[in-house]
Amino acid sequence: MAKLVFLGRLADLAGAAEREVAPGTLEAILADLPVELAVALLDEKVRIARNGELLINPGSIMVAAGDEIAFLPPVSGG
Amino acid sequence: MAKLVFLGRLADLAGAAEREVAPGTLEAILADLPVELAVALLDEKVRIARNGELLINPGSIMVAAGDEIAFLPPVSGG
Amino acid sequence: MLDVRLLAQPFNPGAFVGPFTNAHPGLGGVCTFVGEVRGGGGVEALELSHYEPLTLPGMQALAETASSRFGLMGMLMLHRVGKMYPGEPIVCVSAAAEHRRAAIDAVDFAMDHLKSDSWFWKRELRGGVWSWIEPRDQDHADLRRWG
Amino acid sequence: MLDVRLLAQPFNPGAFVGPFTNAHPGLGGVCTFVGEVRGGGGVEALELSHYEPLTLPGMQALAETASSRFGLMGMLMLHRVGKMYPGEPIVCVSAAAEHRRAAIDAVDFAMDHLKSDSWFWKRELRGGVWSWIEPRDQDHADLRRWG
C-alpha cells in the first residue's frame, strides 16, 4: 500500500489526515477518491511531495508501494 | 559661584570633570581659562547647556551664581 | 551556531535566548523577535500543523540562508506546533552578529520567510468553531522586500 | 508602558525583557536588541560617561518618539554607564507591538538614534591606555535612513 497525507484544510475535506491507497498512477489513485476531494487536491495552488520531496511536475507519476504522497495547500502566513 | 562641567575628552583637557568659576559673561569666564581649553570649548562642534537646557546661541550669555554650564563634545556613536 | 527546533509544548523564549547568547562570545549584538498568539477578535485557541519531512528541513535551510546572507555568528529559530492559547509564544528568532544592522535585518528577513514561506497551516478557534487561516496578500509583499 | 533606565552595574537583559513582555497582554510580538561590549582589537574595557540632566531625558524623549511613530504598546530602553568589560551588555531595547514589523522597525530606529544621537561619551582601554571614541560617518548615514 501507499499513503496519502492531507495538510491543512485538505485534511478536513478528506475526513482524515492520512489515507491508505493501492499503488498505481497518481491519476488512477485520484480517480478512486470522492470527486470533491480529487478536485481540491488537483488545485494548481496545492503542492505535492513524494517521500518528502516536492514534485515539479506531479501529473504523471507512478506511486509505488510504501510511498508517501503529501498534498500541501498554501500556507497560512502572517 | 557657578559650575562648568566638561564631558568626554574635554574633561581630560580641563584636568577635571568640573570647575568652579565666578559668575559673569561666558566670554569673561572663558578668557580666564587656559587658552588651549578655551579654544576647545569654543569649537563649533561643542554644544553648551545651561542648567540642563541646550543653548542655541550661547556666545553672549550671562552666567549667574548657581548656574551649571555644560560643554558637550560630539557623542561617540556606534 | 544554528539551533532550529519545532516545539510541541509552551516554551519560555528567555530560556533559549540566554544560552544562545552565551554560546557566542565576542558578539556585538543579538536581535530577537518573539511572536505571541493574539487573543483579539474572540480567538480562543490556535492550532498549527506541520509536515514533518518538509517543515523542519525548510526552517533549517532558511536559517542557513539568513546566516550566510547577513554574515551571522549564529541563529536560533524556534516555532511552536500543536494547539496553543492567547499569550503563548508561537515563534522566537534570534540572530547573533558582530554588528547590530546584520542582526536586526536577519531577524526581519527570517520572520518574513517563516511567516509566509514555511510549511505551517493554522486554524483558529472562535466561538467554538475552528477555521483555517488563508494566506494574506501582505505576506507576499513582505517577501518581495528581499528580492 | 515606557521603561527607560541608565544602569551603573552589569545587568541581565532577560530579567527586564521577561517582565516587560508580561506587562503587555494582547501583544503580537516583541523585538529586542541587546548590544554587548566587543572584545576585539585588544579592547580591555569600555567606559561610558553621560550628563545626568540631558542623557536620561533624551532617552525618554526617544522612547516616546519611537512609541508614537510605530504605534507601540510599549518600549523598554536600558543603557549601561560607567566602566564595563567585553561580553557585558551595554544596551537593551525592546519594543512590544501588535504587529511584528512595527516592533522590529522601532528597535532599528531606536538603536540608530541611541547610538549616534544620545548623550554618551565612550572611551576604550587598550594596552593600558584610555582613548576617546570619536563619531563615525556611518552613524550619520544610519540616522538619515529615518528622514
Q: How close A43 gets to chain C, by Cα (Å)?
A: 15
The model's confidence at residue D140, banded by pLDDT at 50, 70 and 90, is confident
pLDDT digits (tens, 9 = 90+) for D12-63: 999 999 999 999 988 999 999 999 998 878 899 999 999 999 999 999 999 9
Tell me which residue in C34, C86, C100 faces D35 most closely, judged by beta carbons.
C100
Residues A49 and A71: their CA atoms lie apart, in Å, by 7
Q: Give the whole-angstrom CA distance, residue B44 versus residue A58.
A: 71
**What stretches in chain A show pLDDT beneath 50?**
none
Nearest CA in chain C to D103: C33
pLDDT of residue C119: 95
Alpha-carbon distance B52 to D50, whole Å? 12
pLDDT per position as a tens digit, C91-125: 999 999 999 999 999 999 999 999 888 999 999 99
Name the average pLDDT for chain D: 94
Is A30 among the domain residues? yes
- Give the position of cell 567606559: D47
- Considering the domain boundaries, does residue B19 fall inside one? yes
Q: D101 or D138: which carries more pLDDT confidence?
A: D101
Find chain D residues with C-beta within 8 A of B78's C-beta. Answer: 115-116, 136, 138-139, 142
Write down the pLDDT at residue A58. Answer: 80
Task: Mutate one of C111, C132, C136 to test the A interface: name it (highest A CB count within 10 A).
Answer: C132
In a domain, A10, yes or no: yes
**Domains identified in chain C and CATH numbers:** 2-144 (3.90.1170.40)
Whether B72 and D54 lie within 8 Å, measured CB to CB: yes
Domain contains B14: yes
Residue A13 lies in a domain: yes
Distance from CA of C24 to the nearest CA of A (A): 30
Indicate whether B78 pLDDT > 70: no
Residue B78 lies in a domain: no
- Output the domain CATH number for residue A27: 3.10.20.30
Specify the 3-state DSSP secondary structure of B54. Answer: strand
Q: What is the mean pLDDT of residues C38-58?
A: 93
- Which pLDDT does position D125 carry in this prediction? 96
Q: By percentage, how much of chain B surpasses pLDDT 70?
A: 99
| List of chain B residues whose C-beta atoms are within 8 Å of the C-beta of residue D139 | 77-78
Asked if the Cβ–Cβ distance from C21 to D30 is below 8 Å, we say: no
- Provide the pLDDT for residue A78: 60
C-alpha cell at C72: 551571522
pLDDT score for D117: 85
Q: Which of C24-28, D95-99, D141-145 has the highest mean pLDDT?
A: D95-99
- Range of lowest pLDDT (C71-80, C133-142, D109-118): C133-142
Residue A18 CA to residue A39 CA, distance in Å, equals: 17
pLDDT band for position D143 (50/70/90)? Answer: confident
Q: Which three cell numbers stand for residue D84?
A: 564595563
Residues B34-67: tens digit of each pLDDT: 999 999 999 999 999 999 999 988 877 999 999 9
Domain membership flag for residue A77 = no
User: Has residue D127 got a pLDDT over 90?
Assistant: yes
Q: Residues B2-16: pLDDT tens digits?
A: 999 999 999 999 999
- Within 10 angstroms of residue C7's Cβ, the number of other Cβ atoms is 16
**Residues D57-114 pLDDT 10s:** 999 999 999 999 999 999 999 999 999 999 999 999 999 999 999 999 999 999 999 9
Collapsed DSSP state (helix, strand, coil) of residue B27: helix
**Using CA of residue A60, residue A65, residue A68, residue A71, what is the dihedral sign?**
positive
Half-sphere exposure of C50 (CA within 13 A, CB side): 22
- Judge whether B77 lies within some domain: no
Mean pLDDT of the region C14-30:
94
Question: Could you tell me the residue range of the domain that residue B15 belongs to?
Answer: 2-72
Q: Among all residues of chain D, which has the CA nearest to that of C40?
A: D26
User: How many domains, in total, are found in chain B?
Assistant: 1
From chain C, the residues in CB contact with D98 under 8 A are 38, 40
Nearest-by-Cβ selection for D18 from C14, C33, C35: C14
Higher pLDDT, C3 or D139: C3
Beta-strand pair D2-7/C82-84:
unpaired
Q: What pLDDT does residue B62 have?
A: 94
Per-residue pLDDT at B42: 92
Residues of chain C contacting D108 with CB distance shorter than 8 Å: 104
